[in-house]
Amino acid sequence: MVIQAKLRNFYVLVTAAYNEGAFIENTIRSVISQEVPPARWVIVSDGSTDNTDEIVKRYAAQYDFIQLYRITEDHPRNFAAQVNAINAGIAQLSGAEYEFIGNMDADVTMEPAYFRLLLEKFRNDTKLGLGGGMIYEQDMDGKFKGRKTNSRTSVAHACQLFRKECFASVGGKYIPLPYGGPDTYAETTARMKGWHVESFEDLTMFHHRPTGSAGGLLKSCFRQGKMDYSLGALP
């Protein structure tokens, strides 16, 4: 019985990181502090030129579930790059034993009970295929507040945890799209396949770099509009 209970908690994570030296250490500390840590965590450094690799290597030497995988091939820095990096990390998990697989950004943190509580949600709903928490970001005063676009029926890309069977049913990987939105594609497909998709208000994910801040707000909003149009979303 003890072995079966442990197996129900088997989850793995993949994180794509490009020059995340300013954020990734806090993300790593947050994961290693989890009451239920992952069985494997592949951090894909997508040609980082800062100290991202050194930070990950330091923790990988202390925690055997952390693996650094580095992409060295030259490639365009477009919306497909992160998706391809995530898929490269997923490929590293071939043959691993797990029941849940998650994609997590390199600039997020969560409370120690986050994954334990999320796994309980999956155990309580056998049709829950994709789950996560609500995203909180800092406002101008430095206080964390819930993202305005938080929705119970959508799970943000910052941290998506799939039941293995659900992830297989949507293709077993993320689909690179010209204007982004692989998370939206995945969750929409999951619902079409009959799975439940839900974000839970009692689970909080802290996002330390506001969405769109890396490329500028105006550029981000324009890209968001093209992405929504390409996905067929209503205004």
Supply the mean pLDDT for the chain.
87
Nearest by Cα to 69 from 31, 43, 94, 106: 43
Residue 2: pLDDT over 50: no
In tens, the pLDDT along 132-147 reads 999 999 888 778 998 9
pLDDT at residue 178, rounded to an integer: 67
Per-residue pLDDT at 143? 87
Q: What is the pLDDT of residues 169-196, one digit of tens each?
A: 999 999 987 655 788 899 999 999 999 9
The Cα 86–Cα 102 span in angstroms is 10
- For 6-47, the pLDDT digits (tens) are 445 599 999 999 999 999 999 999 999 999 999 999 999 999
d(CA 52, CA 19): 6
Percent of the chain having pLDDT more than 70? 83
